[in-house]
Each structure stands twice: as C-alpha cells, then as structure tokens.
Structure 1
Amino acid sequence: MLVPMLAILGAPWMANRIEPRVFGLPFLLAWIVAGVLLTSLVMWIIHTLDRRHALPRA
C-alpha cells in the first residue's frame, strides 16, 4: 500500500506538467487516474486469489 500512496502523493513533484496529454487529459490528471485504476485492479486480483485459497467455513 506504500507504492500507490507515494505515486499519488508524489505526483505533483514528479509529473506536474500539462504536456503530453493522455487521452485528452493533462499528464498529472492521467497519472492520478492511472494510479487509482491500477491500484483497484491489483486489489481485485489479490482479493480473487485470496478467496480461492480461503478455508471453507463450517
């Protein structure tokens, strides 16, 4: 959980520019949207894999 937090909190210092535009969005906004979507995807994958290995409830 540290990497997504640093990616979003550090974005203004690392990616604070308008050009290039990604899908019509300024680069900073595209960076933040990509970070949120990728974090959600990784959390969904972990949740799915964790449910497969969960012990059955009695």
Structure 2
Amino acid sequence: MMKKLLMILFISAPFIAQLVVLPFANRIDPIVLGLPFLQFWLFLWIVLTPLFTFGIYLLQKSQGGLD
C-alpha cells in the first residue's frame, strides 16, 4: 500500500509542479543562478522529472512488475 501511494506521488509531483504551481511561480524576482524564477522553476523540473520517472521504475521493479 505504501509503495502504491509513493508511486502516485511520483507520478503526480511533476504534473502538479509544472501546471498547478506554475501561476504562483510566475515572477521575475528572485533571480536564481542568473535566471528569472519562472525560467529556473521550469528548468529545475526538466531535470527532476526523469528522476521521478526512474523512481517509478525502481518501485515497479521491486514489486516484480517488470521482467
């Protein structure tokens, strides 16, 4: 049950971060790594989304869902 909940979290986190939170992140200040905050936010999730996908893969592999 816990692994299923974790998998749902891994699936929904990038979606929520990029679509639901995006209007709240739509601002220029603060400048992070020389980028406006919105651009930094989008680039951050471009990097994090494959990590979440890899986490889903590992959960399915531990449950025996992949051969």
TM superposition score category, shorter chain reference: 0.5 to 0.7
Higher RCO (C-alpha under 8 Å, 6+ residues apart): 2
More helix by share: 2
TM-score, reference length from structure 1: 0.65
The structure number with the bigger radius of gyration is: 1
Q: CA RMSD in A?
A: 2.4
- The runs of 4+ residues in structure 1 deviating greater than 3 Å are 45-54
- Runs of 5+ unmatched residues, structure 1: none
Provide the aligned length of Structure 1 versus Structure 2: 56
The normalised TM-score by structure 2 is: 0.59
2:29 is equivalent to residue 19 of structure 1: yes
Structure with greater proportional strand content: 2
Shift of 1:36: 1.8
SS state at 1:6 partner: helix
Gaps of 5+ in 2: 1-10
Counterparts of 1:45 and 1:31 in 2: how far apart (Å)?
A: 21
Distance of aligned partners of 1:2 and 1:52 in 2 relative to their CA distance in 1, 3 Å threshold: closer
Q: Percent of pairs identical after alignment?
A: 37
